[in-house]
Amino acid sequence: MPPAQREPILNVPAVVAALLAALALVHGLRTALLSDRQNIELLLTFAFIPARYDSSVMLAGALPGGSGAQAWTFITYSLLHADWTHFGVNAIWLLPFGAAVARRFGAARFLAFYAVTAAAGAAAHLATHAGEQAPMIGASAAISGIMAAAMRFAFQRGGPLNFFRTGGDADYRVPALPLRGVLRDPRVVAFLVVWFGINLVFGLGAMPFLGENQEVAWQAHIGGFFAGLLLFSWFDPAPDVPPSSEIDATRH
């Protein structure tokens, strides 16, 4: 028999490809079709702006979207990007980690998880930037949550991002690392050190936005990351357990 072919590590699930396409489409339409004035109006309506939640800030009442924007911008900000480089960096991170999590969770759970971790990132940003008028955009907080979820299983032996992977759906159903064991696994600790180090380094820099320099919202990244780490079990499907008759049969 011919040897079994190993599954490519970046065999992208449809939901991840669709999400990336949607993010690219949103940015492409903004840059190609909208005037500068229209683009700013869109950003002020759908970006996350802490001042929107502070009645003492003069700008709060003048922002478009009203009370509806106070709810939807917890998620819609993650669909916007400052430029193609911003989008490209997020896409590079989303491809391997998003593919692993989407195959384990399924499309509906994956999209719900994306929304929840995006909202958690916005909440962390709001808590640390109360009253700030600068808009926050980008999928980084949600992607940070997805990376944290992948960390719970993807690096386990036989997992999709482990060297000793076998290929196939079994890679995505390996037992998840319990939360209390996260800091006991040297591979996970190494990943945490690198991830937090990257965020601290880039958090000290700045990125262009609306013609000005805005600090990278590293607090939102951390908020999304911890939400993904802590809420993983809420979204993780129950493991496939054989019927009791099959279990009994294996004991004989």
Residue 250 lies in a domain: no
Question: Which pLDDT belongs to residue 249?
Answer: 38
Phi, psi of 166 (to 5 degrees): -100, -20
CATH number at residue 113: 1.20.1540.10
Residue 93 lies in a domain: yes
Judge whether 6 lies within some domain: no
Compute how many other C-beta atoms are within 10 angstroms of the C-beta atom of residue 87: 20
5 lies in some domain: no
Q: Which residue has the higher pLDDT, 154 or 166?
A: 154
Please give the residue range of the domain that contains residue 38.
14-237
Q: Which SS3 state, helix, strand or coil, does residue 131 take? A: coil
pLDDT (tens digit, 9 = 90+) per residue, 188-223? 788 788 887 777 776 655 444 444 455 678 889 999
Long-range contacts of 2-11 (CB under 8 A, 24+ apart): 4/167, 5/167, 6/165, 6/166, 6/167, 7/165, 7/167, 7/168, 7/171, 9/96, 9/160, 9/161, 9/165, 10/95, 10/96, 10/99, 11/99
**Angle at CA of residue 108, ends 173 and 104, nearest 5°:** 10
As beta bridge partners, residue 208 has 213
Q: Supply the pLDDT for residue 209.
A: 41
Q: Is residue 65 part of a domain?
A: yes
Helix (H) or strand (E) holding 213: strand 212-215
- pLDDT, tens digit, for every residue of 98-138? 998 999 999 999 999 999 999 999 999 999 998 888 899 99
**How does DSSP classify residue 136?**
B
E strands present in 107-186: none
3-state DSSP call for residue 40? helix
**Residue 169, both tokens:** 């759906």
How many domains is the chain built from?
1
Q: What pLDDT is attached to residue 208? A: 41
- In angstroms, the CA 172 to CA 160 distance is 6
Q: Are 50 and 130 in contact (CB under 8 A)?
A: yes
Report helix, strand or coil for 80: coil
User: In this structure, are residues 213 and 219 in contact, taking their beta carbons and an 8 Å threshold?
Assistant: no
Full-model pTM: 0.82
